[in-house]
């Protein structure tokens, strides 16, 4: 069995949906399970609803409706069929409108709201497969993926998820029916809807792949695989034939949107091959994510994040004190803030954080025992490759280049695992730094 996940752009146009059907049709022997994202832009539109004035809510819901209606009309000329599928979309959007009018914008509410995107897309894709002569059934992942209640970025619970996934999907697969599963969403043990974090459909695919011991997980997207840098930012970026599990995880965790950061973890555990492929160029072999790196000691790719926060914590009392770091990190734990990079000196600690959520509260608590400054609108550029920090030449060159470009490093981190060099800088310098570092280290290298 294989898992084939199709992202937003892959389910948004007639052409890409027809390609999806062809891909699935050509894999029937390997018993595909399909996982889909919401149509492009729909999750953002849904999540924007609670912040809108009442007068704009109707307009945004109509926009979401039109995105789906247009796809339906492009896919089928049969008016009865169109009407039947549009009715499903209308029912879901009525439920969205009702939720908005009654809900309170907490985590649980937002996850329920976001879940409608995948519920609508999976219905359309299941019908598209059926119309193409492939037996298919929509499966809502709240019946499969059981998570903790960390709304907005929930983690799956292995035992119940494995049990449910097998229970629901195996009979379908045995009957030759292709399950079309909603990506991104799950539910708590008590049935509250959760989401796995933005971009989480990739993770859904790998969770299902892990639970069903799939042969392969295919991530179908809108570029030819994992590139040496985001191809939208760097003109000369090239698609990589292979990257190691470690390199892929690191790239994703440090900003490359092509994969959800947690995707490769289940695959690593069970040795399942993960491929990143292009729905708009299915002939291309894409990128294979495999256990070992083929390019030890070389920079494989550059990734970046923008709009991150740098928290600088100074305390002279830190000098020679035991437990001071623990005291600091307890505050971040208290407010459930994920710390990315950390740099420590005798009297200061700097940490980088992706989100603003709860940051003010944490700073208030930290200020009780230290001086804290917050620097907003920072960015981070990361160079990824196994064993890269073991070369002094590479490190020296990185700083020479930044110096030449007059880019000030506000914080630096060399991973002890030797796979990542990250530099925090002003957000508006990030793209320049990515291009220049990519051009130096990756434009001329032979890639594997
Ligand atoms: P999907 O909707 O298919 O999940 P995403 O938009 O989440 O697609 O991810 C694909 C996008 O990731 C690409 O269009 C590309 O701009 C971006 N991206 C960022 N870094 C990389 C990289 N290193 N390799 C490939 N794509 C990247
Ligand atoms: N639709 C969700 C999002 O936009 C999940 C995904 O696309 O993977 O984040
Ligand atoms: Mg994605």
Looking at all shown ligands, the one closest to residue 221's CA atom is 1
Q: What is the pLDDT confidence band of residue 447, given thresholds at 50, 70 and 90?
A: very low
Q: Is the C-beta atom of 227 inside 6 A of ligand 1?
A: yes
Q: Is the C-beta atom of 199 inside 6 A of ligand 1?
A: yes
Average pLDDT, the chain: 94
Average pLDDT over residues 385-390: 86
**Residue with the nearest Cα to atom 6 of ligand 2?**
199
Please name the residues in contact with 384: beta carbons below 8 A apart, sequence gap of 6 or more.
247, 250, 251, 254, 299, 300, 301, 302, 303, 419, 420
Q: Is the C-beta atom of 138 inside 6 A of ligand 1?
A: no
Q: Is the C-beta atom of 204 inside 6 A of ligand 1?
A: no
The ranges assigned to domains in the chain are: 2-222, 301-441
Alpha-carbon span 260 to 252, nearest angstrom: 6
Give the predicted TM-score (pTM) of the model: 0.94
* Ligand 2 center from residue 249 Cα (angstroms): 18
Instruction: Give percent of the chain with pLDDT exceeding 90.
Output: 85
Q: Is the C-beta atom of 327 inside 6 A of ligand 1?
A: no
The residue whose two tokens read 């292009």 is 278
- Cβ atoms within 10 A of the Cβ of 343, count? 16
Q: Is residue 347's pLDDT more than 80?
A: yes
Between the two ends of the chain, the Cα-to-Cα distance in Å is 28
Specify the CATH class of 2-222 in words. alpha beta
* Ligand 3 center from residue 202 Cα (angstroms): 7
Regarding the domain delimited by 301-441, which CATH topology (the fold level of the hierarchy) does it fall under?
A: VC0802-like (3.30.2130)
Same fold, 2-222 and 301-441: no
Pocket around ligand 2: residues whose beta carbon is below 6 Å from it? 7-8, 37-38, 43, 117, 183-184, 198-201
Looking at all shown ligands, the one closest to residue 237's CA atom is 1
**Of 131, 118, 182, 119, whose CA–CA distance to 24 is shortest?**
131
Ligand 2 nearest atom to the CA of residue 184, by list position: 5
pLDDT tens per residue, range 252-303: 999 999 999 999 999 988 889 999 999 999 999 999 998 887 777 789 999 9
């Amino acid at each position: 069995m294989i898992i084939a996940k199709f992202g937003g752009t892959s389910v948004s146009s007639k052409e890409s949906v027809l390609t999806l059907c062809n891909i699935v049709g050509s894999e029937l022997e390997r018993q595909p399970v399909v996982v889909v994202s919401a149509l492009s832009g729909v999750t953002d539109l849904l999540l924007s609803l609670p912040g809108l004035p009442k007068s704009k809510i109707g307009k945004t819901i109509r926009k979401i409706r039109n995105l789906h209606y247009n796809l339906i009309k492009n896919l089928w000329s049969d008016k009865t069929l169109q009407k039947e599928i549009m009715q499903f979309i209308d029912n879901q959007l009525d439920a969205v409108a009702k939720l908005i009018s009654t809900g309170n914008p907490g985590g649980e509410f937002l996850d329920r709201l976001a879940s409608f995107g995948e519920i609508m897309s999976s219905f359309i894709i299941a019908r598209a497969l059926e119309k193409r002569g492939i037996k298919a059934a929509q499966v809502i992942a709240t019946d499969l993926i059981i998570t903790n209640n960390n709304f907005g970025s929930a983690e799956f619970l292995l035992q119940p998820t494995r049990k449910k996934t097998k229970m629901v999907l195996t009979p379908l697969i045995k009957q030759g029916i292709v399950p079309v599963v909603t990506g991104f969403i799950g539910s708590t043990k008590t049935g509250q809807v959760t989401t796995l974090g933005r971009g989480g459909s990739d993770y859904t695919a790998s969770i299902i792949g892990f639970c069903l011991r799939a042969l392969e997980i295919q991530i179908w997207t809108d570029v030819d695989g994992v590139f040496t840098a985001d191809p939208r930012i760097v003109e000369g970026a090239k698609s990589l034939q292979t990257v190691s599990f470690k390199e892929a995880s690191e790239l994703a965790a440090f900003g490359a949107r092509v994969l959800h950061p947690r995707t490769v973890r289940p695959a690593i555990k069970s040795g399942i091959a993960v491929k990143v492929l292009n729905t708009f160029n299915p002939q291309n072999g894409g990128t294979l994510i495999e256990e070992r790196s083929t390019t030890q000691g070389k920079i494989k790719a550059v990734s970046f994040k923008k709009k991150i926060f740098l928290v600088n914590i100074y305390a002279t009392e830190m000098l020679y004190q035991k437990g001071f770091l623990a005291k600091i990190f307890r505050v971040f734990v208290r407010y459930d803030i994920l710390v990315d990079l950390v740099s420590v000196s005798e009297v200061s600690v700097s940490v980088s954080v992706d989100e603003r959520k709860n940051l003010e509260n944490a700073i208030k608590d930290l200020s009780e025992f230290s001086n804290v400054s917050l620097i907003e609108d920072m960015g981070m550029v990361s160079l990824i490759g196994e064993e890269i920090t073991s070369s002094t030449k590479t490190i020296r060159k990185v700083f020479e280049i930044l110096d030449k470009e007059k880019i000030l490093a506000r914080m630096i981190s060399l991973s002890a695992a030797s796979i990542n060099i990250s530099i925090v800088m002003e957000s508006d310098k990030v793209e320049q730094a990515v291009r220049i570092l990519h051009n130096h280290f990756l434009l001329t290298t032979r890639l594997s």
